[in-house]
């Protein structure tokens, strides 16, 4: 006489639970690699393609307001030189050695920069190019008029539409800011650009710093992404 088969019956619910747990374990194992891959992609994009920047000051009013976030693309100037009218981000010149900070603050600031958030240690400026290498520039009169190569340049983007009292640039200022005088004003050296803030009365720009090395330009700002009400191209 054959003995009855006493093997336990399969439990479908237990099988489903086991498969689910196995799937979750697999996902958890993959998660660190996915996070590292996403971080690597973000770093590559920030370094070579596009970066978000936080606007910390009033120097570009009314075009840009404090707290705005803009996207800066880094490919254009690999192909074409900077042009008059471009709004650019460039590295702030640091006199002496930059202060040393703990590594974890560097990591924190890097992550905040990825999101276009303020770090409290911003080391970049954003200004508008008004003249490029080889151009001559004058900024004079009352209201101030901008002349590049002897031709007046439209300044409809300037805060208030007119600038009456901010720093002028005449032939007498050329040597002070590292430029040579020419027939039509101060000559911008090759490989440099002359930048000014749209809020001319509250802007630390080439009138004080002198022309900026093209190599110091991080990229060209092309769109406002925050706040939503101000979203739009530059």
Contact in structure between 188 and 211 (CB atoms under 8 Å) = yes
Name the helix (H) or strand (E) containing 132. Answer: strand 124-132
Which is nearest to 123 in space by CA: 110, 132, 135, 133?
110
Q: Where are the alpha helices (DSSP H) in the chain?
A: 12-44, 76-79, 103-114, 206-209
Phi (first) and psi of residue 92, to 5 degrees:
-75, 135
Which is nearest to 187 in space by CA: 128, 151, 152, 135?
135
* Structure token digits, residue 222: 């092309």
Phi (first) and psi of residue 88, to 5 degrees:
-125, 155
Residues serving a catalytic function are 59, 127
Q: How far is it, in rounded angstroms, from Cα 138 to Cα 62?
A: 23
* Structure token digits, residue 177: 């800011």
Phi (first) and psi of residue 184, to 5 degrees:
-110, 20
């Amino acid at each position: 006489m054959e003995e009855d088969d006493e093997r336990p019956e399969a439990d479908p619910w237990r099988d489903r639970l086991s498969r689910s747990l196995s799937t979750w374990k697999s996902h958890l194992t993959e998660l660190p690699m996915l996070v590292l891959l996403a971080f690597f992609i973000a770093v590559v994009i920030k370094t070579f393609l596009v970066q978000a920047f936080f606007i910390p000051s009033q120097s570009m009013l009314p075009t840009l307001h404090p707290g705005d976030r803009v996207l800066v693309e880094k490919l254009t100037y690999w192909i074409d030189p900077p042009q008059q009218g471009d709004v650019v981000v460039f590295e702030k010149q640091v006199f002496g050695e930059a202060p040393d900070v703990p590594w974890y603050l560097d990591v924190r600031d890097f992550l905040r920069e990825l999101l276009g958030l303020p770090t409290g240690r911003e080391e970049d400026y954003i200004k508008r190019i008004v003249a490029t290498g080889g151009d001559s520039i004058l900024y004079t009169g009352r209201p101030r008029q901008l002349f590049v190569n002897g031709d007046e340049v439209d300044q409809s983007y300037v805060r208030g539409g007119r600038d009456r009292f901010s720093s002028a640039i005449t032939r007498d200022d050329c040597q002070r800011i590292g430029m040579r005088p020419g027939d039509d004003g101060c000559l911008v050296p090759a490989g440099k650009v002359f930048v000014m803030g749209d809020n001319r009365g509250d802007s630390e720009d080439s009138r004080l710093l002198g022309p900026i090395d093209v190599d110091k330009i991080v990229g060209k700002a092309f769109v406002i992404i925050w706040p939503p009400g101000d979203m739009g191209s530059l």
